[in-house]
Amino acid sequence: MPRMETAAPVPLYSVPMPASVVQKELSLHGHRITYRTADIAERRDAPVILLVHGIAGNAGQWDQVIPRLAEQFNVVAPDLLGHGQSAKPRGDYSLGAYAVGLRDLLLALEHGSATVVGHSLGGGVAMQFAYAYPTMCERLVLVSSGGLGKEVHGLLKAVTWPGAEWVLPLLTARPVHAVASAVSRQVARTGLHAGPDVAEMLRAFGSLTDPRARKAFIHTIRAVIDVGGQRVSARDRLYLAQLIPTMVVWGRRDPIIPATHGEHAHSVMPGSRLEIFDGVGHFPQVERPDDLARVLLEFAATTEPAHLDLGGEDLTTLRRMLTGGPSPTG
């Protein structure tokens, strides 16, 4: 199993957007969608890589990865609807709706296909995208992904409890978030580190001071998690990954979703690759952006992109797999 050496934690709080990264926006179905990309001229002959963040996250979590990937790819890292600076309408925040949104974004940007990288909730969205639009998915990369097992951090399960929508505004009030941030900074000055997982969780909850973002968060999380844990699973369809080059990436010390989910997924995804980062938590793109970029580029360099044609032999293959695939794995 591939392993990497432990590195020192990154600083706890957000750094400015790198000069090599820019934010752009467009309108989809009348809603504002923002996305980040590299500050270089788009190369129409270069492949596309789509980076999908997790619950309550935003495209800024990919800022340190984007410049490296831009050496070979046209990079698109959107703020999902209801997140970041994208619109937060009343509407559908299911995995399927997010997958449709990614399809529409790629088409609006005149991209017919992409290597799709999904983190946490974004991994579930990426799997849904690959399942629904296989002809548009060249490769699939799951980073600390949801949808591969039941276990999840208790804090996320708590948001599904009845009445959580009334408690959440108190927990995300600006004074509370400011105090938590100040405490974390003081701890960091002593030479101890609360870790990037704590930092990112604080940032995520800080974004929920916006009532619209808070409602989107609650609708999103209740679509995939209940009091018993994750309730949406792709495990009975993972055998389909043999149609698309697939890689699973995880942090060994992930406190949000255990790394064992990734190891099991790899074991039942024919031809998949597995990268486990020792000493890393739930956010490899924040803790170890250079290492994550490196394995992504290596994966792309050593695999041929899938170009499925569902009008020919690929359709016959898919039909045979769907009706004769393995029994569900739970």
Residues with catalytic function? 120, 254, 282
**Contact status, residue 227 vs residue 287, Cβ threshold 8 Å:** no
Q: How far apart are CA 10 and CA 195, in angstroms?
A: 8
Residue 87: Cβ-neighbour burial (10 angstroms; 0-12, 13-18, 19+): buried
* Rg over CA atoms, the chain: 19
Side chain identity, residue 34: T
| C-beta neighbour count of 268 within 10 angstroms | 15
Structure tokens at 135: 């002809």
d(CA 73, CA 136): 16
DSSP state letter for 24 = E
The C-alpha torsion from 65 through 113 and 257 to 185, rounded to 10°, is: 30
Q: Token pair for residue 108?
A: 């609006």
DSSP letters along 243-275, please? GS-EEEEEETT-SSS-HHHHHHHHHHSTT-EEE
Find the angle CA(53)-CA(59)-CA(63) to the nearest 5 degrees: 115
DSSP-derived letter for residue 305 is P
CB distance 282 to 203 below 8 Å: no
Element (H, E) at 185: helix 174-189
Residue carrying structure tokens 């948001």: 159
